[in-house]
């Protein structure tokens, strides 16, 4: 019998949870706990960390987990590394459901960097309106350039003072090209800092930047250990031995 653990928190993870529930597979959906009001799932849900590699390994053993699916955000590197190690310790099969990264189009003006600190250095010294589309846990280094007028967008309101003055938008995606164009024009955005998350849900800001001719400082994905990786929910279902096309 299969008992799967979904390490989730992404739109792809929610799609997978729906397919797994529809197929009648025993599974648990795990949220990392960063979002205060996570979306409801059609599976039993747990919220919070596991306590590192050993904690995750203990959970896999205690709960009789037979398959682990890493469907976390492409930049949730620590959780993904922990999953690789814990699955190796417990001999639990692991698969990563990870959307393809965005690729630069000919009309894009990207400055590709490897990390947040390099992204800070890539911003101009002259004051500018900057849209930081990188998540709240990564914004602190930008306090090194307080001359900029920053716009931030979070799913939840900040629960602690920000490290610099900023205009905060509280909103949950996905966002449309029309809404992103309107936001950037209204706020006079001149620079965008983004992580290469890939997928369609967060792509509108990249398309809007292209339309407006704005430079994007694009942070590359972190390097992760070798693991089985797929980009489609149907591939995960096949790995589990089930069809995602029930009723077809």
* Residue-by-residue DSSP string for 2-62: -EEEEE--SHHHHHHHHHHHHHT-EEEEEE-S-SSSPPP-SS-EEES--SHHHHHHHHHHH
The span from the CA of 206 to the CA of 108, in Å, is: 8
CA–CA–CA angle 20, 21, 26 (5° rounding):
80
Give the mean model confidence (pLDDT) for residues 138-167. 92
Taking the C-alpha atoms of residue 50 and residue 65, their distance in angstroms, rounded to an integer, is 14
Residue 240 pLDDT class (50, 70, 90 cuts): very high
Q: Which residues contact 192 (CB under 8 A, 6 or more apart)?
A: 130, 131, 133, 184, 205, 209, 214, 215, 216, 217
Residue 36 pLDDT greater than 60, yes or no: yes
Tens digits of residue pLDDT in 222-231:
999 999 999 9
201 has a pLDDT exceeding 90: no
Helix ranges (DSSP H) in 24-166: 52-62, 77-90, 116-122
pLDDT digits (tens, 9 = 90+) for 76-120: 999 999 999 999 999 999 999 999 999 999 999 999 999 999 999
Q: What is the helix (H) or strand (E) element at residue 236, kind and residue range?
A: helix 233-239
Backbone angles phi, psi at 137, to 5 degrees: -75, -5
User: When comparing pLDDT for 33 and 58, which is higher?
Assistant: 58
- Supply 106's token pair: 């000919």
Q: State if pTM tops 0.75.
A: yes
pLDDT tens digits for 168-182?
999 887 899 999 999
Percent of the chain exceeding pLDDT 70 equals 96
What percent of the chain stands above pLDDT 90? 83
Q: What is the DSSP letter of 203?
A: T
β-pairing, 166-170 vs 149-154, is: parallel
Nearest to 123 by CA among 51, 246, 217: 217
Burial of 170 (0-12, 13-18, 19+ CB in 10 A): exposed
- CB-based burial, 23-56: b 16+ in 10 Å, e otherwise: bebebbbbbbeeeeebeebebebeeeebeebeeb
Q: Strands across the sheet with 67-70, in order?
A: 45-47, 26-31, 3-7, 67-70, 94-97, 229-230
């Amino acid at each position: 019998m299969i008992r799967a653990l979904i390490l989730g928190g992404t739109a792809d993870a929610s799609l997978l949870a729906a397919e797994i529930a529809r197929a009648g597979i025993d599974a648990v959906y795990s949220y990392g706990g960063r979002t205060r009001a996570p979306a409801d799932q059609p599976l039993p849900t747990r919220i919070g960390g596991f306590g590192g590699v050993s904690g995750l390994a203990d959970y896999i053993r205690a709960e009789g987990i037979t398959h682990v699916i890493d469907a976390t955000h492409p930049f949730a590197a620590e959780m993904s590394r922990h999953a690789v190690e814990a699955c190796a310790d417990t001999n639990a099969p692991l698969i990563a459901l990870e959307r393809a990264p965005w690729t630069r189009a000919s009309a894009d003006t990207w400055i590709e960097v490897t990390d947040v600190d390099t992204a800070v250095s890539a911003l101009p010294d002259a004051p500018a309106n900057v849209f930081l589309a990188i998540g709240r846990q990564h914004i602190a280094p930008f306090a090194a350039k307080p001359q900029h007028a920053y716009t931030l967008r979070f799913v939840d309101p900040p629960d602690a003072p920000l490290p610099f003055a900023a205009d905060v938008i509280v909103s949950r995606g996905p966002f449309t090209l029309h809404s992103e164009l309107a936001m950037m024009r209204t706020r006079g955005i001149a620079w965008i800092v983004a992580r290469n998350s890939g997928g369609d849900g967060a792509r509108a800001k990249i398309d809007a930047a292209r339309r407006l001719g704005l430079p994007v400082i694009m942070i590359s994905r972190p390097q992760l250990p070798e693991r089985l990786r797929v980009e489609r929910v149907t591939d995960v279902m096949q790995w589990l031995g089930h069809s995602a096309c029930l009723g077809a």
